[in-house]
A = this chain, B = another copy of it.
């Protein structure tokens, strides 16, 4: 591997991996706290205690760093969802488990929620956001479609519903985490119930 390979396709040593992770972690909190633009690269490297050169060794630019953070987050969210629905078979149950895991994850990662909001506002990042959203919506829509096909719920626009579900998760994460409000399990239950009712159309089902 050549020393002058670009930051993206560099094979990292363990120490390298740690450094990279530290930079990403610190940047994430700073970006979330102060915003992307108000956070200078120098603050990030200072916070981690390395020189500026290190930063540009691991990331080709500040933009690229944000993109990496965002991609990692999406990967982590989906991994969580997949883990949550593993074993379940009933589409409605899959839906519920998915919603619950998304909600939990979002609430546990308020910084990411902020970063995502920001990313939507500048085209160089929005492109990635669109792709990410398509994936997330598809994941949810798949369960809804399956439920429709199985006759469990009436026919309808699965993607619109999936979008609505996604909106509820994000909004609650924002309201209760970002806004600084308290948040307990009952809120999650209310939200999950709200979504299931919205999709399924009756309130007889009780969440597990």
Could you tell me if A190 and B160 are in contact, using CB atoms closer than 8 angstroms? yes
How many Å lie between the Cα of A4 and that of B46 in the bound state? 7
In A22-68, which residues have CB < 8 Å from any B CB? 32-38, 40, 42-43, 45-46, 51-52
Partner of A171, one of B170, B199, B202: B170
Q: Specify which of A169, A170, A174, A176 lies most central, judged by the most chain B CB atoms within 10 Å of its CB.
A: A174
How many Å lie between the Cα of A38 and that of B123 in the bound state? 11
Q: Give A137's nearest chain B residue, CB to CB.
A: B175
How many Å lie between the Cα of A38 and that of B62 in the bound state? 14
Could you tell me if A167 and B161 are in contact, using CB atoms closer than 8 angstroms? no
Could you tell me if B187 and A157 are in contact, using CB atoms closer than 8 angstroms? yes
Q: How far is the CB of A60 from chain B (nearest CB, A)?
A: 15
Q: Is residue A89 within 8 Å, beta carbon to beta carbon, of the partner chain? A: no
How many Å lie between the Cα of A179 and that of B171 in the bound state? 18
Q: Is residue A186 within 8 Å, beta carbon to beta carbon, of the partner chain? A: yes
